[in-house]
Structure 1
Amino acid sequence: MQRRLTPELITAAALRVGDAEGPKAMTMRRIAAELGCDPMALYRHFPDRTALLDSVADLALADVTVPPGAWDERVRGILSAVREAAFRHPGIAAHVAARPPLQDNGLRLAAALTAALAEAGLSPADVVRATQALIAYVAAALAMSIAAGEPDARWRQLGEMFSTLPGAPPGAELPVTGSAEQFAYGLRLLLNGIRAEAAA
C-alpha cells in the first residue's frame, strides 16, 4: 500500500535523491519515482520545482544548531555550520546559495543571527543590514566554492599575479578559492567590521 504523500515525505525523498545522485537528479520525475507515485501528484503539495527545492534547502539546515558563547562565536558557528551543512547535501547546495532558506530552519537561524548582532551593540536598523550582509557573504562564498572545484589555470594565473606584489606571499601559499580557510578569513573581516560599527 502506497504511503500518503505529505510535503514532509516529498521533501525528505528529494533530499535523499540529491544526496545520492547530485543536483541534476532532483527533477520532479525522479523524485516521484523515488516515492513510487505519478509526478503530477507532487504538484498537489508544491506549486513548482522551485518551491520543492526551497523546502529541501530548509531541511538541509535542520541539524544546524546555535552554539553557546559570545555573540561573535554564535555568528561564526552558525554561518560555518550552514556552509558545512550545504556541503553535506551536494544536491541542494547550489540552491541554498542562490535562495537562502526562509522556512522554519532558515528563519530559526536568522532569528539567532539577529539576536547575536543586537547583543553586539548594533542599532535595530544595523542589525538588519548586518544580517543581510552576512547571509549574502555565505551565499556568495558557497556559490564560489561550488563553482571553483580544484585549482585551475585561472587560479594559478591569479596566484602568479599576487606573487608579484611587494611583500605578498607566493601564490602557492594563498588560500584556494572557496576553501574553508578563505571563508574563515572573510568572516573574520566581517566580524571585525561589525565590532567597529557597533563601537562607533
Structure 2
Amino acid sequence: MVEGRIPEERRRRKPTKSGVLLSEDVIVDCALRLVGQHGPDALSVRRLGAALGCDPSALYRYFHNTDDLLLAVADRIIGETTRGFEPDTMAWRDGLRELALRIHRGYREHPRVAALAAYRVTRRVHEFRAVDAGIGLLRRAGFSDEDAVRHYSAFVDTVLGHAALDAAHLALPVERRAADDRAWEGVYAGLSAETHPQLAAVRGHLPLMAGSSFEAALDLLLSALAAAAPTRDG
C-alpha cells in the first residue's frame, strides 16, 4: 500500500446527507475549492464536513488527517499540470523546460495551495511520475545516476521555490500587490545617486524587478545544465 492511503474497506459506500457519494477525488475537489476561496484555514475536517454534508469523522475513512489530505491536494495539482506531458518525444532540455513551466503554472493557478504545499513531498502517484520523468531526462543528457539526482534536486527546488514565491505574490490583496510592484519604478527609481549609486545607474531598468524572474532563472539553470551535460543534443 502506498504510504498515506487508507485501506479500501474503511471507505464510505453510501451518500452523505446532501446526496454526495464520498471518494478521495470528491474530498480533494472540495478541499481545493475551499482553500482557493477562503485560504489555508479552510483545510479543516469541520469545514470540509460542512461543505460535503457529512460528519467530519467520515473524512478519516479516506485520509489520516488534514496533512494527509494536503499532500493529496498537492499531488492532484501535479497530476493536472503534467497530464499529456510526454518527455520521450522531445529533447531532454526541452522536456525539462516544459516540465518546469507546467509545474510553475499549476501552482500559480492555485496560489493559496502553493503557499502550503509547494515545498512538500507528496509520496503519491503523480509526483512519482514527475520525478521519474525529470531524472530520466537528465540521465538521457548523459549525466551519471548520482549527478542526475543531484541536478534534478536543484532543478525542481528552483521551480517550486519560484512557484511558491510567485503564488504568494498572487495571493496578496490586489492593492498590496500593486503597491509592491509600483515600488520599483517609484521609491527605488527615485533614490539618490549620492546614497545609492548602483540603483541610480540602473533606475530605468528597475521596473523589471516587478515581474516574476522564474523564466530567467529557468533559462540560466538549463543553460548551465546544457554546458555541463555529456550529451550535446539537448
- Measured against the shorter chain, the TM-score band is 0.7 to 0.9
- The residue that corresponds to 1:60 in the other structure is 77
Structure 2, unaligned runs of 5 or more: 1-14
Identity over the aligned pairs, expressed in percent?
31
Larger radius of gyration: 2
Instruction: Report the Cα offset of residue 11 of structure 1.
Output: 1.6
Q: From the superposition, tell whether residues 121 and 47 of structure 1 become closer, same or farther in structure 2 (CA, over 3 Å).
A: same
Q: From the superposition, tell whether residues 152 and 19 of structure 1 become closer, same or farther in structure 2 (CA, over 3 Å).
A: closer
Instruction: Report the Cα offset of residue 134 of structure 1.
Output: 1.2
3-state SS of paired residue (2:22): coil
Q: Is the 8 A contact 1:163 1:171 kept in 2?
A: no
Residue by residue, what CA displacement relative to the aligned partner does 1:95-138 show, whole Å, maximum 9, x if unpaired? Answer: 23221433111111111111111111111101100111111112
Q: How does 1:160-171 map to 2 (within 5 A)?
A: 164=198, 168=202, 170-171=204-205
| Count of paired positions | 197
- The residue that corresponds to 1:74 in the other structure is 95
Between the aligned partners of 1:52 and 1:155, the Cα distance in structure 2 is 38
- The residue that corresponds to 1:13 in the other structure is 30
Instruction: Report the Cα offset of residue 195 of structure 1.
Output: 1.5
Instruction: Report the Cα offset of residue 167 of structure 1.
Output: 7.0
Q: Give me the CA root mean square deviation.
A: 2.9
- The residue that corresponds to 2:5 in the other structure is none
Q: Is the 8 A contact 2:74 2:118 kept in 1?
A: no
- The residue that corresponds to 2:105 in the other structure is 84
2:219 aligned residue (184, 188, 192): 188
The answer on 1:137 being equivalent to 2:158 is yes
Between the aligned partners of 2:121 and 2:159, the Cα distance in structure 1 is 9
Q: Is the 8 A contact 2:111 2:167 kept in 1?
A: no
3-state SS of paired residue (2:152): helix
3-state SS of paired residue (2:123): coil
Instruction: Report the Cα offset of residue 7 of structure 1.
Output: 2.4
3-state SS of paired residue (1:98): coil
3-state SS of paired residue (1:101): coil
Q: Residue type matched to 1:18 in 2?
A: V
Q: Is the 8 A contact 2:75 2:127 kept in 1?
A: yes
Residue by residue, what CA displacement relative to the aligned partner does 1:136-187 show, whole Å, maximum 9, x if unpaired? Answer: 112211222233452528963667699726975634342426x1xx100101
Q: Residue type matched to 1:130 in 2?
A: H
Q: From the superposition, tell whether residues 101 and 167 of structure 1 become closer, same or farther in structure 2 (CA, over 3 Å).
A: farther
